[in-house]
């Protein structure tokens, strides 16, 4: 279908060679039954995937990406139904196949890599059993033949010590290894098509680079058609050959990745790219964001679905829906202004920040000295989750804490909040020692220190209304009377950009961005001086991410707040932080003022993180000499002796195995824990 539309335009010749389309989706419509009635979640979608190439499907949460992928596999829930369109695989219409015929295709000719391998792998079956069952079922291999093939697959996807790993279970593997096992299962029967749904979302950026490099290599080596579903525009820029951008159940732009990124012909694509914070460009005073929210599936606007949020909309945009047609570029665009350049398009006005009257840094808010948290294992041994971390935060300053999942950064935040008791070390809040083991001291400290969690949906009580959630700390601490709580809640909602009527709703009735704003409003109820932000935007779409970061900056300026900003996104941390600390297995390995660290990273791990972070520019990405960091993250139970990074470090020597290097200052507040620097 993509080819047929492309050939309508004479200038579309560079893409006319896409004659090897293995998968073609044409006019797909998917309806879902809800308590409110039937709603359309995918509406007239058409795209295709070519053998030996990577096709990316991008867009905000709820736009229909994953539902489309499940439709290809015929794995829609019982409430979902394909009401229109075709899905053709190798010339065969999948929608006409029965369940038994489809079972023979799944795993054999079509493989799928799901977002979270820990929930996709069976926890009670060994890795060997989970790989070989596909081989014995589809290829009728003997047990010995299947095991031999499983070993071959484990080696191919880069799992070391494959013989031993086969007998292990999913919980005994790292996140990167589990994802590699999922890829091995998908590859087992030499499929022609692999669909990867957010395959690297939960992974460290260095492991993410390894996995994506592996998928790209496999697509070329085995001539596999690869479909990658993601919201990470940098990933698309680095690896995708073609990209289709979805919005509110429709494709709004589709074409070669290099063309879509360099000359977007739809305002939504252009704004998505502008909203991505980039490490290769100077830090912006304000993060750009797309105003408004996507429409609900059952309440689509007339005309163009993006028109209510579009800064260049015309009268016709609200009257007539644009068709997906060739634009001025080598891409298809569903926009009435598809032939106009969008170079000067701006999302939200970048108003200058207005700092509070007091000079930042004039007063110390928090000092952490050699804090540690060790967990005893039932079978013996110790996990050193945090092992001697020190830092300080001054008034109206933000410390960004970066690290992989499991490095101890969230445990640091939990100890500050008194949710974990430190094994050793000390905490000082406003110059006074804070004993988190004493309830009275903790209660006093929590009035000055609040938290914003990563997942607002799981941190908000589903049985309470938004108003009750925000009013609770006000009533518990006796700040207002119950009769006054309603007005105070309305003020807080307005401060975070929500209407007062939101107070009557429950968490499930709000979008992800709205829920996070409620979490921020609740954190502000007690007028805190310090905010612990634990991955506050990692679960949000790019378009919403900018809104939340801007809100936090405004509140910091208005209220003189200090922040500990815990995250794994280096570009976001660069934007919001004044100082940055890099954690690796319970220790800070590098700490410096923001601009100094990003301009001159000293620790090999910091350099690897910055090199692995993709940017939304295909030309730049494919001209860079990427050297993926080798090796897996060590187990927290058996951390290597000496420097914990030496097992993966390209500069490591025998000396690195002897002792843990201390964090020492090199220049101008720049500290590093590495004997090679």
Strands (E), 128-275: 193-197, 225-230, 242-247, 250-256
pLDDT (0 to 100) of residue 555:
87
Q: Give the span between the Cα atoms of 98 and 84, in whole angstroms.
A: 17
Centroid of chain to Cα 449: 27
pLDDT (0 to 100) of residue 278:
82
Q: Give the span between the Cα atoms of 413 and 397, in whole angstroms.
A: 16
Q: Give the span between the Cα atoms of 374 and 421, in whole angstroms.
A: 10
pLDDT (0 to 100) of residue 166:
94
More confident residue, 337 or 282: 337
**206: helix, strand or coil:** helix
- Kindly report, residue by residue over 180-194, the tens digit of the pLDDT: 899 899 989 999 999
- Which position has the token pair 């007062």? 500
Of 225, 262, 256, 227, residue with least CA distance to 243: 256
Q: CATH: 3.40.1190.20, 3.50.50.60, 3.40.50.300, 3.40.640.10. Which one for 364-672?
A: 3.40.50.300
Q: Give the span between the Cα atoms of 3 and 138, in whole angstroms.
A: 33
Provide the mean pLDDT of the chain: 86
With 90 as the cut, is the pLDDT of residue 292 above it?
no
pLDDT (0 to 100) of residue 12:
26
Strands (E), 235-281: 242-247, 250-256
Q: Give the span between the Cα atoms of 275 and 157, in whole angstroms.
A: 34
Of 564, 590, 591, residue with least CA distance to 427: 564
Residue 301 is classified by DSSP as P
Q: Give CA angle at 396 (395, 402), nearest 5°.
A: 100
- Kindly report, residue by residue over 100-127, the tens digit of the pLDDT: 999 999 989 999 998 777 778 999 999 9
With 70 as the cut, is the pLDDT of residue 410 above it?
yes
Q: Give the span between the Cα atoms of 538 and 565, in whole angstroms.
A: 12
Span 151-168, average pLDDT: 87
pLDDT (0 to 100) of residue 203:
65
Q: Give CA angle at 52 (74, 8), nearest 5°.
A: 80
With 60 as the cut, is the pLDDT of residue 4 above it?
no
State the pLDDT confidence band at 570, using cuts at 50, 70 and 90: confident
Q: Give the span between the Cα atoms of 528 and 559, in whole angstroms.
A: 9
Of 233, 238, 200, residue with least CA distance to 54: 238
Number of Cβ within 10 Å of residue 104's Cβ equals 12
**479: helix, strand or coil:** coil
Centroid of chain to Cα 80: 26
- Kindly report, residue by residue over 493-525, the tens digit of the pLDDT: 988 888 888 899 998 888 777 888 899 999 989
**664: helix, strand or coil:** strand
User: Hey, what are 339's tokens?
Assistant: 């032939």
Of 619, 542, 614, residue with least CA distance to 257: 619
With 90 as the cut, is the pLDDT of residue 242 above it?
yes
pLDDT (0 to 100) of residue 378:
79
């Amino acid at each position: 279908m993509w080819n047929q539309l492309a050939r309508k335009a004479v200038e579309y010749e560079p893409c006319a060679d896409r004659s090897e389309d293995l998968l073609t989706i044409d006019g797909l419509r998917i309806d879902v039954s809800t308590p409110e009635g039937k709603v359309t979640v995918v509406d007239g979608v058409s795209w295709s995937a070519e053998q030996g190439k990577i096709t990316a499907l991008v867009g905000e949460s709820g736009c229909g990406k994953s539902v489309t992928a499940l439709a290809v596999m015929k794995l829609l829930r019982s409430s979902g139904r394909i009401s229109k369109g075709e899905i053709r695989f190798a010339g065969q219409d999948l929608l006409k196949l029965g369940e038994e015929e489809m079972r023979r295709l799944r795993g054999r000719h079509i493989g799928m890599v799901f977002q979270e391998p820990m929930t996709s792998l069976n926890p009670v079956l060994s890795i060997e059993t989970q790989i070989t069952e596909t081989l014995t079922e589809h290829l009728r291999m003997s047990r010995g033949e299947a095991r031999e093939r499983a070993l071959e697959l484990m080696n191919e996807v880069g799992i070391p010590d494959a013989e031993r790993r086969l007998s292990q279970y999913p919980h005994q593997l790292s996140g990167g290894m589990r994802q590699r096992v999922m890829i091995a299962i998908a590859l087992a029967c030499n499929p022609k098509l692999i669909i990867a749904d957010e395959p690297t979302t939960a992974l460290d950026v260095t492991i993410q680079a390894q996995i994506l490099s592996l998928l790209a290599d496999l697509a070329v080596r085995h001539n596999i058609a690869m479909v990658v579903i993601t919201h990470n525009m940098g990933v698309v820029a680095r690896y995708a050959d073609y990209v289709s951008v979805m919005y509110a159940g429709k494709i709004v732009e589709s074409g070669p990745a290099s063309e879509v990124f360099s000359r977007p012909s739809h305002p939504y694509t252009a704004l998505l790219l502008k909203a991505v914070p980039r490490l290769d460009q100077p830090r912006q005073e304000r993060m750009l964001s797309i105003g408004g929210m996507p429409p609900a599936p059952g309440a689509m606007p007339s005309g163009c679905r993006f028109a209510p949020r579009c800064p260049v909309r015309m009268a016709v945009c609200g009257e007539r829906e644009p068709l997906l047609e060739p634009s001025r570029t080598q891409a298809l665009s569903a926009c009435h202004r598809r032939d106009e350049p969008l170079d000067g398009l701006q999302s939200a006005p970048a108003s200058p920040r207005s700092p509070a009257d007091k000079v930042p840094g004039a007063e110390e808010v928090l000092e952490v000295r050699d804090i540690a948290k060790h967990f005893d294992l039932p079978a013996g041994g110790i996990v050193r989750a945090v092992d001697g971390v020190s830092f300080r935060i001054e008034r109206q300053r933000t410390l960004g804490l970066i690290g992989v999942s499991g490095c101890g950064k969230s445990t640091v935040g939990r100890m500050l909040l008194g949710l974990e008791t430190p094994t050793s070390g000390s905490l000082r809040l406003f110059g006074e020692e804070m004993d988190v083991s004493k309830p009275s001291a903790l209660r006093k400290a929590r009035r000055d220190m609040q938290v914003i969690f990563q997942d607002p949906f799981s941190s908000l009580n589903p049985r309470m209304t938004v108003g009750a959630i925000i009013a609770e700390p006000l009533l518990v601490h006796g700040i207002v009377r119950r009769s006054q709580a309603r007005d105070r809640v309305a003020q807080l909602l307005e401060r975070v950009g929500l209407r007062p009527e939101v107070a009557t709703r429950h968490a499930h009735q709000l979008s992800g961005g709205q829920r996070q704003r409620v979490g921020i409003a609740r954190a502000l109820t007690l007028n805190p001086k310090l905010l612990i932000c634990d991955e506050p935007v990692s679960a949000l779409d790019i378009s919403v991410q900018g809104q939340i970061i801007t809100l936090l900056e405004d509140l910091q300026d208005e209220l003189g707040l200090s922040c500990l900003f815990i995250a794994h996104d280096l570009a976001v941390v660069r934007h919001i932080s004044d100082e940055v600390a890099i954690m690796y297995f319970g220790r800070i390995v590098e700490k410096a003022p923001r601009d100094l660290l990003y301009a001159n990273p000293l620790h090999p791990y910091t350099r690897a993180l910055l090199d692995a972070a993709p940017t939304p520019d295909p030309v730049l990405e494919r001209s860079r000499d990427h050297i993926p960091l080798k090796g897996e993250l060590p187990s927290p139970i058996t951390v290597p002796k000496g420097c914990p990074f030496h097992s993966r470090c390209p500069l490591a020597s025998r000396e690195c195995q002897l002792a843990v290097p201390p964090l020492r200052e090199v220049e101008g507040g720049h500290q590093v824990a590495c004997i090679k620097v």
